[in-house]
A = this chain, B = another copy of it.
Amino acid sequence: MPERDLRYLADLAAQLRVDAVRASSAAGSGHPTSSMSAADLMAVLLACHLRYDFDDPHAPGNDHLIFSKGHASPLLYALYKAAGAISDEELLSFRKHGSRLEGHPTPRLPWVDVATGSLGQGLPVGVGVAMAGRRLDRVPYHVWVLCGDSELAEGSIWEAAEQAGYEGLANLTAIVDVNRLGQRGPTRHGWDTGAYARRMCAFGWHTVEIDGHDPGQIDYALSDARNVRRRPTAILARTRKGEGVSAVEDREGAHGKPLADAEQAIEELGGLRETIRVQVNPPEPVKEPDGVPHSPLKLPVFELGDDVATRSAFGEALAALGSARGDVVALDGEVADSTKAQAFADAHPDRFFEFFIAEQQMVAAAVGMQVRGWVPFAATFAAFLTRAADFIRMAAVSRADVRLVGSHSGVEIGQDGPSQMGLEDLSMMRAVYGSTVLYPCDANQTAKLVTAMADRPGVSYLRTTRGATPVIYDADEDFPIGRCRVLRASPDDLATIVAAGVTVHEALAAAGELAEEGIRVGVIDLYSVKPLDIEALRAAATTTGNLITVEDHWPEGGLGEAVLSAVADLGPRVIKLAVRQMPGSATPREQLRDAGIDRTAIRDAVKRLR
């Protein structure tokens, strides 16, 4: 590389460092030293290798740059300034009330694909974007992920390493900023870039070890990464945290705080100079896709009275949805035969993605694919979605539109025992910002809700049941999200039973038995657990004054508490039936009985009201 270019890159890196120091100082908090270690890496990337149109962040040919080490946000924002995307004034609004430049990047900025800041997530999400590029978009954009060395301790990084190596994602590069210092002190492997290289190499990656402050080496490694075939590349770059400022360079105790003497630091970095405005390489011109094919939706039809598991209905509906819409994709955690997403795999193998037993990577890939406009449904056992809880939490911060499906919910699964039972999934999914939580009791209802999820913004969740339940709704009925279905109601009702999923059938049976004894009760099918049909619930609470909620879930945070939140101020008596003891193995019917959520328990609860 010519001397003049090297000087330009060094000057640009100095500017990025200065801006990181300035932004953090203006904020009074932030991570300047973690930004400074990666400044040379990002300077060379921005000036020489990134292909991106900052005026058109959704251009299909744009590369993707994800800061997996989200705390290096001052560096990211300094890059945006160097690219002319934000002003110096906005840069200095960092971390202030109302600013788009949050402490950790979020998609409030149009150039940020996904929120980061929970470490170990940017790389798995990048794998999803790269998979979309290779297997869905079929566009040669490159995905660059800046990782910290500390975050390589996260298991999710190795799920990503395995997936990317296996897929041969040559369009993915992890740039690892090996600055040897974590938050609390030295990392496990310090500057032993070979330790990381051996691991990545074993997972099938191409690896390059470089001095992360040498623009020539960086340029070589980034070229290499763009050009290598059939393998993702990991650039292990040895760097110094706080590089360029002697007071903090490679020193412990300088993590996550502004520099004590910012003026002196800026002086040492060469002082404030005229802003270098980088002309970022444009993306390769890519024809805007024609739009994915859409054709009329032909949902499966289930006959009244037949016994059909809602998980089966989900699989068939998803396959039908995939036939009607070319943008729907399905992701599996090696349980598609159980969740019944297999039906989609059979019908649309090119839009079906297997992640084996790696739930974090599965959810992260769903987030990555929706970055590019795809409509992902990711399914596993409800219980195992807890494995990805942090990814689901961050999906909400990312304003991602992802659809999750949890099968084998509740004690209803029977013999397999508690390790396989989703008993906290309603609680987990309700407590996700902006989420939608659906729990159908019937196959036709399931099909309608699956369809509605495709257009639902945010994180939406469908809870399905393992065993077959009777079809009680006609195929032409509608089930809007945010509503419920009043299945039985009369002015003489002693109480209203509020149920969902498997307990709807128990509630109907109980109501029938009670009717024979002359006791009338209402039954509500609360298929939309979030948002709730507050009006209908309040009407029921007012009419009967007695609500009995029945859920195949722990008592905390599920259907019962959702209902309480909607009606408590009306003062009805609310009896909450839920799973209160740790189950063992037993038949589904024994489980429902032991948990006190079957027809007998409901009937007894009603009778105690008299």
**A residues with CB within 8 A of B:** 27-30, 70, 94-99, 101-104, 106, 108, 115-120, 150-151, 153-159, 162, 166, 182-184, 187-188, 198-199, 201-203, 332, 334-338, 342, 354-358, 360-361, 383-384, 386-387, 389-390, 393-394, 396-397, 414-420, 423-424, 427-428, 430-434, 530, 554-558, 560-562, 564-565, 567-576, 582, 584-587, 590
Complex contact A334–B150 (CB within 8 A) = yes
Residues of B within 8 Å of A357, CB to CB, are 119-120, 150-151, 153-154, 182
Residues of B within 8 Å of A572, CB to CB, are 568-569, 571
Beta-carbon nearest neighbor of A120 in chain B = B357
Residues of B within 8 Å of A116, CB to CB, are 419
The answer for the CA separation of A568 and B567 in the assembled complex, in Å, is 9
For A390, give its contact among B389, B396, B574 (CB under 8 Å): B389
Residues of B within 8 Å of A151, CB to CB, are 357
Beta-carbon nearest neighbor of A342 in chain B = B184
Residues of B within 8 Å of A334, CB to CB, are 150, 153, 182-184
Task: Please give 12 more A-B residue pairs, beta carbons under 8 A apart, in addition to A104-B419, A557-B557.
Answer: A98-B584, A102-B584, A106-B584, A118-B420, A154-B358, A183-B337, A187-B356, A387-B389, A389-B428, A424-B432, A561-B561, A569-B575
Residues of B within 8 Å of A554, CB to CB, are 431, 433
For A356, give its contact among B182, B201, B420, B576 (CB under 8 Å): B182
Residues of B within 8 Å of A120, CB to CB, are 357
Complex contact A188–B203 (CB within 8 A) = no
Given contacts A417-B102, A417-B106, contact A424 B393 (CB under 8 A): yes
Residues of B within 8 Å of A198, CB to CB, are 202
Residues of B within 8 Å of A336, CB to CB, are 184
A106 to chain B: closest CB distance in Å? Answer: 7
A408 to chain B: closest CB distance in Å? Answer: 12
Complex contact A390–B393 (CB within 8 A) = no
The answer for the CA separation of A572 and B573 in the assembled complex, in Å, is 11
The answer for the CA separation of A361 and B156 in the assembled complex, in Å, is 12
Most chain B C-beta atoms within 10 Å of own C-beta, residue among A360, A423, A431 = A431
Residues of B within 8 Å of A530, CB to CB, are 556
For A386, give its contact among B106, B199, B390, B430 (CB under 8 Å): B390
Complex contact A416–B103 (CB within 8 A) = yes
A384 to chain B: closest CB distance in Å? Answer: 7
Complex contact B184–A162 (CB within 8 A) = no
Complex contact A419–B115 (CB within 8 A) = yes
The answer for the CA separation of A28 and B588 in the assembled complex, in Å, is 13
Complex contact A394–B419 (CB within 8 A) = yes
For A97, give its contact among B70, B96, B587 (CB under 8 Å): B587
A433 to chain B: closest CB distance in Å? Answer: 5
The answer for the CA separation of A356 and B432 in the assembled complex, in Å, is 27
The answer for the CA separation of A459 and B98 in the assembled complex, in Å, is 39
Beta-carbon nearest neighbor of A159 in chain B = B155
Complex contact B419–A117 (CB within 8 A) = yes
Residues of B within 8 Å of A383, CB to CB, are 118, 390, 393
Residues of B within 8 Å of A97, CB to CB, are 584-587, 590
The answer for the CA separation of A590 and B96 in the assembled complex, in Å, is 10
The 6 closest A-B pairs by CB, nearest first: A571-B571, A155-B155, A117-B419, A557-B557, A158-B158, A389-B389
A434 to chain B: closest CB distance in Å? Answer: 7
Beta-carbon nearest neighbor of A356 in chain B = B153
Beta-carbon nearest neighbor of A392 in chain B = B386
Residues of B within 8 Å of A188, CB to CB, are 162, 166, 356
The answer for the CA separation of A394 and B103 in the assembled complex, in Å, is 33
